[in-house]
Structure 1
Amino acid sequence: MNNAEFGPIGLLVIQATSLCNLDCSYCYLPDRQKRKIFDLELLPTLLERIYESPFWGPQLSILWHAGEPLTLPTSYYDEATAILQRHTADLQAQGVVIEQHVQTNATLINADWCDCFRRNQIVVGVSVDGPEDIHDAHRRFRNQRGSHALTMKGIKTLQAHEIPFHAIAVITSAAMEDPERVYRFFRDQGIHHIGFNVEEQEGVHTQSSMQGQSREKQYRSFLSHFWDCNRRDGFPIHLREFDQVLGMIQGEQRLLQNEMNRPYAILSVDAQGNFSTFDPELLSVETERYGLFNLGNIREVSLEAAASSSTFQRLLADMRSGMSRCLKTCDYYGFCGGGNGSNKYWEHGTLDASETCSCRFSSQIPVDVVLERLELESATSP
């Protein structure tokens, strides 16, 4: 095993709880109605597993995600911060940077949560899909009531308390009809840092409203219109998809490898302490081809020992074979680094595959749109 090809672990995704107060139609998680809670007494063990391994690095972002983290009390994150401070003080004194992040649907955010985010220095990500009808078409409570009003109340509370945040919008067919309206929503609501996650076929969500060549054509037009609206207003919105492409063009960043397919670049841990690597979406998922993607439980198995297991070796071999296929056949490899294993599995039934629908939406179309708009602007500028 060549540890130089692994890690460093830069992202630790912890499922604080499996419970979500919403029942979004496109969610890939199977047990979001169950209230399993990550026992914070395991957090020191988890940290020890990371820092006893050869895979740790100079920066670690801890993301509380996969379920709705705010269904737990603020005291949970106060305790987590205290544990982190006690068990990583020496590392941080040596220059290791450790951050906490949370991804939330914002429906539960109030002044107490804003105080919690501030005192624990938690970086906030919010999920909001756009105008009310588009958002509520998929993001509903279990009684089928839409969540948009409460999400926007939470966002306004963050803004009133001057808590910075970024947003993730799941793009569905409902957004395709009026890109100008979607753009105006984010601009006018002061949501200026956004990433678009196109609805995917993944996990228990076996169908997507964005499947098919006609949807890809629509999305290309949608992104082009979004660029034009943004350009017209002086680019008030930082769209992740545009910024990534521009960063590579301008030489500010160079993709060496996709962290989703580099072993131990990401470590994901569920509420029961089971862990996996590669895509967080693979955690605790039962599949026909691979069984569980889990590599063990942090109580019982070290990260290095798990990397020697037959389960891991099979996943790694198929992942690398799929990346090799991408390298040989795809002109966009330098941008995406070989694609995401979860998308390959859910679309092709194996990690040993190349192009996916997700590749086209997340990489190919954004690259094409940015290059087309830049060429058009260059041709028409004085």
Structure 2
Amino acid sequence: MTGTMPTAMPTQVEPANLRTSDCGPIGLLVIQATSLCNLDCDYCYLPDRQKRHIFDLNKLPTLLQRIYESPYWGPELSILWHAGEPLTLPPSYYDEASRILELHTADLQAQGVRIEQHVQTNATLINREWCDCFQRNQIIVGVSLDGPEDIHDAHRRFRNQRGSHALTMQGIRTLQEHGVPFHAIAVITSAAMNEPERMYTFFRDHGIHQVGFNVEEQEGVHTQSSMQGRDREEQYRHFLTCFWNCNRRDGFPIHLREFDQVLGLLQGEQRLTQNEMNRPYAILSVDASGAFSTFDPELLSVQTERYGPFNLGNIDTVSLEAATSDATFQKLWHDMRSGMQRCRDNCEYYGFCGGGNGSNKYWEHGTLNASETCACRFSSQIPVDVVVERLEAEG
């Protein structure tokens, strides 16, 4: 069912009565090491990717202190360097970050808190030095790769319009040669819709066995998507069905995130009641200046007419707990909860998505207080339908 915008919103939002149990634990910390990206992908949501703002590592102890002085930390913390191209900074930056993390989390790790570092990169800068850095600091690598050269280069280009595929593949080969494991995230655009078997064969033949699909979204400064419309949704349904069939034929060499998530929920016979994108402080995002936000990382420091920049404060001056009393958070949480209730009341897929993602609701409906989006049909409904149909067909 299609979510609708409310006809009117109150000028003053009633307090959301947030309880500590409504929040966290913080499982993912997204840090924008730098806003700069060496690519200029035409579907990117970030507004300042041509500017070189850098997160000052002198702030990292403060950031960690903000987390551990709050009631929101838990048994696991994944730190993701993202939102820009993190490898435009030198390996020494992450060596220093790792040193600081080890120093300031030693007591917690001794108590059993598990801390991991991740990096999401376009791989165009990866060389032996970077592989050594990943290995000595135990950094888990994610690579952005959209598939074969023509499909990838249709959108993922340098500012001089030269395609990035050749350098990305060179970086992937370097990772493989040095035994650095990685997973890939592919943005699915209209360019891939007619070639599901070719997409599958590309990942299989290049030994890329952990893959996630992010369907191109209307988001941030990217206000239009080539994947909008019901015709595209039917194409994507066929695309995923073909990908499943090819994968099954070969013994499932590729773990596709979308299939694995649905299978996990079906096999566990337990449905979601919420997700980390709409639960306060399940995710904490921090930009290069130290400004922080929660919910979707894609909301961080993005200016909006309705909510402002989504930021809740700066780690230098505001605690995470104090930020929940601010009017900005109260309005976000009020609308997020109302939107989740709409989803819960009206959508049969709620147990598979837990109420959707606020960024998609905002960019498609202009408010967090909305339900179904084009994005949730691609990310949840269609994968669920395809997996259930395939399992039923295979008996």
SS in 1 for 2:394: helix
2:182 equivalent to 1:172? no
Question: Which residue in the other structure is 1:56 paired with?
Answer: 73
Q: 2:130 aligns with which of 94, 108, 113?
A: 113
In structure 1, what residue type is equivalent to 2:198? Answer: R
Q: Which runs of 5+ in 2 are unaligned?
A: 1-17
> CA offsets per residue over residues 275-328 of structure 1, 9 Å max, x none?
000000000011011111000000000000001111101100000000000000
- Superposed counterparts of 1:249-260, under 5 Å: 249-251=266-268, 254-260=271-277
SS in 1 for 2:268: coil
In structure 1, what residue type is equivalent to 2:140? Answer: V
Question: Which residue in the other structure is 1:75 paired with?
Answer: 92
Once residues 352 and 271 of structure 2 are traced to their aligned partners in structure 1, the CA distance between those partners, rounded to angstroms, is 8
Question: Which residue in the other structure is 2:11 paired with?
Answer: none
2:350 equivalent to 1:338? no
2:225 equivalent to 1:208? yes
Say which is worse superposed, 249-258 or 359-368, in terms of deviation: 249-258
Query: Cα 1:211–1:184, aligned 2, differ >3 Å: closer, same or farther?
Result: same
2:300 equivalent to 1:283? yes
Once residues 254 and 150 of structure 1 are traced to their aligned partners in structure 2, the CA distance between those partners, rounded to angstroms, is 41
- Superposed counterparts of 1:177-188, under 5 Å: 177-188=194-205
Q: Which runs of 5+ in 1 are unaligned?
A: none
Which has the higher relative contact order, 1 or 2, with Cα contacts under 8 A spaced 6 or more apart? 2
Report how many residues are paired: 378
2:328 equivalent to 1:324? no
TM-score (norm 1): 0.98
TM-score (norm 2): 0.95
Once residues 281 and 271 of structure 2 are traced to their aligned partners in structure 1, the CA distance between those partners, rounded to angstroms, is 20
Q: 2:291 aligns with which of 266, 274, 290?
A: 274
Query: Cα 1:237–1:252, aligned 2, differ >3 Å: closer, same or farther?
Result: farther
In structure 2, what residue type is equivalent to 1:183? Answer: Y
2:39 equivalent to 1:22? yes
Once residues 374 and 3 of structure 1 are traced to their aligned partners in structure 2, the CA distance between those partners, rounded to angstroms, is 40
Q: 1:160 aligns with which of 163, 177, 186?
A: 177
Query: Cα 1:354–1:254, aligned 2, differ >3 Å: closer, same or farther?
Result: closer
Once residues 247 and 25 of structure 2 are traced to their aligned partners in structure 1, the CA distance between those partners, rounded to angstroms, is 36
Once residues 171 and 274 of structure 2 are traced to their aligned partners in structure 1, the CA distance between those partners, rounded to angstroms, is 36
2:264 equivalent to 1:223? no
Once residues 308 and 8 of structure 1 are traced to their aligned partners in structure 2, the CA distance between those partners, rounded to angstroms, is 18
2:348 equivalent to 1:348? no
Question: Which residue in the other structure is 1:191 paired with?
Answer: 208
| Percent of aligned positions that are identical | 82
Once residues 251 and 352 of structure 1 are traced to their aligned partners in structure 2, the CA distance between those partners, rounded to angstroms, is 30
Are the counterparts in 1 of residues 272 and 350 from structure 2 also a CA contact under 8 Å?
no
The Cα RMSD (Å) is: 0.8
SS in 1 for 2:292: strand
Once residues 331 and 96 of structure 1 are traced to their aligned partners in structure 2, the CA distance between those partners, rounded to angstroms, is 36
> CA offsets per residue over residues 62-111 of structure 1, 9 Å max, x none?
00000000000000000000000111100100001110000000000000
In structure 1, what residue type is equivalent to 2:250? Answer: D
> CA offsets per residue over residues 193-219 of structure 1, 9 Å max, x none?
000000000000000000000000000
Are the counterparts in 1 of residues 27 and 282 from structure 2 also a CA contact under 8 Å?
yes
In structure 1, what residue type is equivalent to 2:357? Answer: N
Are the counterparts in 1 of residues 361 and 371 from structure 2 also a CA contact under 8 Å?
yes
SS in 2 for 1:250: helix
SS in 2 for 1:4: helix
> CA offsets per residue over residues 236-276 of structure 1, 9 Å max, x none?
00000000011111118753421000000000000000000
Q: 2:310 aligns with which of 284, 290, 293?
A: 293
Once residues 337 and 93 of structure 1 are traced to their aligned partners in structure 2, the CA distance between those partners, rounded to angstroms, is 33
SS in 1 for 2:284: strand
SS in 2 for 1:226: helix
Question: Which residue in the other structure is 1:4 paired with?
Answer: 21
In structure 2, what residue type is equivalent to 1:338? Answer: G
